[in-house]
Amino acid sequence: MSTKITMDVKGMTCDGCEHHVGDALAAAGLTDLEVDWRRGFAAGIDTGSFDLSRATDALAGSSYEIVSVSTAETEASARSVPDGDFDYDLLILGSGSAAFAAAIKAKDLGASVAIVEMGTIGGTCVNIGCVPSKALLRPAELFYQAGHSPFAGVPTAAGHVDLAALIASKDELVGVLRREKYASLLDVYDIDLIEGTARFTGPDTVDVNGREVTAGRFLISTGASSWVPPIEGLDGTGYLTSTTALEITDVPDELIVVGANAIGLELGQLFAHLGSKVTWVEALDRIAPFEEPEISAIMRGHLRDEGAKVYEGATAKRAGADGGRVWLEIERNGTATRLEADRLLMATGRRPNTVSLGLDAAGVETDGRGAVVVDAGLSTTNPRVWAAGDVTTTPQFVYVAAASGNIAAENALRDAGRKLDLRTMPRVTFTTPSIASVGLTEAAAREEDLPVMTSILPLEAVPRALINRDTTGAVKLVADEATGELLGAHVLAEGAGDVIQAAVVAMNYHATIDEIAAMFHPYLTMAEALKLAAQTFNKDVKTLSCCAA
């Protein structure tokens, strides 16, 4: 039986690089080689003699690095899963995106699979995260726009918000997607669902409500939940979390949001657009603290222009309720300030769901936040246990969870050697305007001692933004000063999540800023901002005619 080996290879920059990498892989046992330096890609056929460590050793000391490996059988039957008298080849704890991606991959490999779920099938994204929040953010944005038209001669007005009806519509959509994207797939792929609470009782045994379930391999994908720091008096305020905020049926007149990273910004602006007077409190020195400082500054100004208050570098000290109102005492620069509102939303992050899993008995290491520690192949400190998704130390994004589940399942069942490569992982905050990023920030690049150069393009220089009568935002690019390769892209603009995908593709193929500037970008789209930002390294785009190269 032969196997096709596919690899992502970093460091190739020319045709000669293809020959060097190809020679190393041939010496390690691959035949029928295909190497493409532009795509950072290599593939070949293993007839049984390929040794990945030999290939790695052959490339040691060079600029080339194998960053991920995947395999596929070239004959019909797959290698058998681990030997043993088990109930299942793979037992998955949790039923979210990581779990289902792993289960589907495992079934593709011919394995028997069961999912254990203690609550509602589908995990965070479809039930209480991405889907319901975005299902509310869009109508809130449209409602706000109806009352704030920027166009002369086109008067608009916003009427009354029926939040209860909006919540009911959101719940209906969640139910449909939960059924179609999760529950119905159990029968499609012949995956067993075991309802109950799972707990490891040893390194290779799991108890589910008193029943011992055995498996050749285990995958932990139990997700994460809202986390709230200990604050004096907070329990008496009836505070909201990112979950319960999506359930209330009345718009608060005034709302305090503690936390101004992605979740806090999204949910706070949701209620601001529905009519609440919102005050943000952020403990770090700026809102959107992990984005470029220029992005944070523009967003801060925009929120204030919309009527919000923003307190940065502020610590929540005490809270309470008085006469149907809530209050929060914050401290900033040694000065205490008392804030009051109708409701208090704690958007202070999420913590992995590992407390009840018995991971000590399984010999699975966790970090200080309770996250399962995994390597690039998603394996844990227990050789029979893998983990994927928000429960791990990897970034908490649903697409990362799904990719991780797929990789973990193949590594667990096939010892495939695949790795999770986050170099081109995008992130999007669905505010208005939205924030999207991929790759390194300027500060991160300099911390790695990379020679970097940057460009910052205000949206005033983007024709689409001018036509929209909305120039709030900017594009910042970070590039290698020596080679011109794009290292990071950061966008604050309408449709930033769509624009960023072009930067993801460019970075995946190690494109330079000159190559990006030379590509066709359709005029009067926000995507053109990426081209303009690339041109900004060498030209003043304000002095160019439309579409000038």
Q: Which of 235, 234, 113, 252 is nearest to 185 (CA)?
A: 113
**Of the listed 1, 14, 189, 523, which one is catalytic?**
14
**Of the listed 1, 189, 523, 547, which one is catalytic?**
547
**Of the listed 1, 7, 17, 189, which one is catalytic?**
17
Does residue 7 carry a catalytic annotation? no
Distance CA 149, CA 373 (A): 49
Q: What is the DSSP string of 84-98?
A: S--SEEEEEE--SHH
Distance CA 459, CA 13 (A): 33
Contacts of 244 (CB under 8 A, 6+ apart): none
Does residue 88 carry a catalytic annotation? no
Locus of tokens 């305090």: 256
Exposed / middle / buried, residue 471 (Cβ in 10 Å: 0-12, 13-18, 19+): middle
Does residue 526 carry a catalytic annotation? no
* Three-state secondary structure readout of 438-504: EECCHHHHHHCCCCEEEEEEEHHHCHHHHHHCCCCCEEEEEEECCCCEEEEEEEEECCHHHHHHHHH
**Of the listed 118, 130, 425, 453, which one is catalytic?**
130
Contacts of 113 (CB under 8 A, 6+ apart): 88, 89, 90, 91, 92, 103, 106, 107, 189, 191, 192
Does residue 453 carry a catalytic annotation? no
Does residue 239 carry a catalytic annotation? no
**Of the listed 1, 7, 12, 399, which one is catalytic?**
12
Q: Which of 420, 415, 383 is nearest to 401 (CA)?
A: 420
Classified as helix, coil or strand, 63 is coil
**Of the listed 7, 88, 125, 239, which one is catalytic?**
125
Distance between first and last Cα of the chain: 52
Q: Are 266 and 137 in contact (CB under 8 A)?
A: yes
Does residue 17 carry a catalytic annotation? yes
Classified as helix, coil or strand, 350 is strand
Distance CA 179, CA 114 (A): 18
Distance CA 118, CA 135 (A): 26
**Of the listed 64, 88, 144, 311, which one is catalytic?**
64
Radius of gyration of the chain (CA): 26
Contacts of 539 (CB under 8 A, 6+ apart): none
Q: What is the DSSP string of 97-154?
A: HHHHHHHHHHHHTT--EEEEESS-TTHHHHHHSHHHHHHHHHHHHHHHHHT---STT-
Q: Which of 347, 357, 362, 541 is nearest to 459 (CA)?
A: 541
Does residue 189 carry a catalytic annotation? no
Q: Which amino acid is at 413?
A: L
Question: What are the tokens at 485?
Answer: 């390769």
Does residue 64 carry a catalytic annotation? yes
Residues that are catalytic: 12, 14, 17, 64, 125, 130, 546-547
